[in-house]
Amino acid sequence: MAPRINATVLAILTIAACHKASKELPARAVPHVTGAIKIDGEWDEPDWSKTSLRGQFLGSDGQLSRPTSEVRFLRDDTTLYVGCYAADDDIRSTDAFDLKLGTLALHIDATGNSAPLLAGMKVAVDRDGTLDDPRNFDEEWLLEIAIPIASLPDHGPANVTASRCDTPKHGKQLCSAWSGRLVLP
């Protein structure tokens, strides 16, 4: 039980460090899409690769996370789009991203379930691997999230944090996070 407690403490410290750093950063505007975004779990629209604001997760050591994780942000006049990427050699239904957008906190797992699920919110997931099957080696999973701007409690500059903990096949839990200040629509 002690290793899990230590990993949890490590995750909290990582997130707290990222959150503290985000207060010191200038706020960045979430880019406006140039075309429609279809919530299907795929980042095949050009805006995801050419326009989105991207954040690479860092581990507790301040280095790029391993396994790799990333968050991306886009918006239109009515919707905030968030994309979350996770390299993962053993995708489990309990794997999840935690997103904090100002005072709004979301927990979205590898099945696409969100807590809470906001009115009008859409979530799609794409997995390159077999969910809850430790016998094979998975590759990655990706979330595509559409959040109605009207449901965001904060507008203007807000601290934003995306985090996740993963337990790869070697069995050691690894936690990482990205944090920044964004001008939410």
Domain membership of residue 100 as a residue range: 2-184
Q: Is the pLDDT of residue 161 over 90?
A: yes
pLDDT at 153: 82
pLDDT at 5: 41
pLDDT at 24: 62
The predicted model gives 139-165 an average pLDDT of 92
Q: How much is the mean pLDDT over the chain?
A: 87
Q: What is the per-residue pLDDT across 135-146, written as a single tens digit (0 to 9) for each?
A: 989 999 999 999
Instruction: Tokens for 114, please give them.
Output: 């969100």
Reported as a pLDDT band with limits 50, 70 and 90, residue 170 is confident
Write b or e for each residue in 147-173: b if 16 or more Cβ atoms lie within 10 A of its Cβ, otherwise e.
Answer: beeeebeeeeebbbbbbbbbbeeeeee
Q: For the chain, how many structural domains are there in total?
A: 1
Q: Is the pLDDT of residue 101 over 60?
A: yes
Instruction: Tokens for 21, please give them.
Output: 């750093």
Name the range with the highest mean pLDDT among 25-29, 59-63, 70-74, 169-173: 70-74
> H helices then E strands: how many in the chain?
2, 12
Task: State how beta strands 96-101 and 79-87 pair.
Answer: unpaired
Q: What is the CATH number of the domain that holds 20?
A: 2.60.40.1190
Nearest to 145 by CA among 54, 49, 40: 40
- Classify the C-alpha dihedral 154-164-179-184 as positive or negative: negative
pLDDT at 93: 93
Q: Is the pLDDT of residue 13 over 80?
A: no
* pTM assigned to the model: 0.85
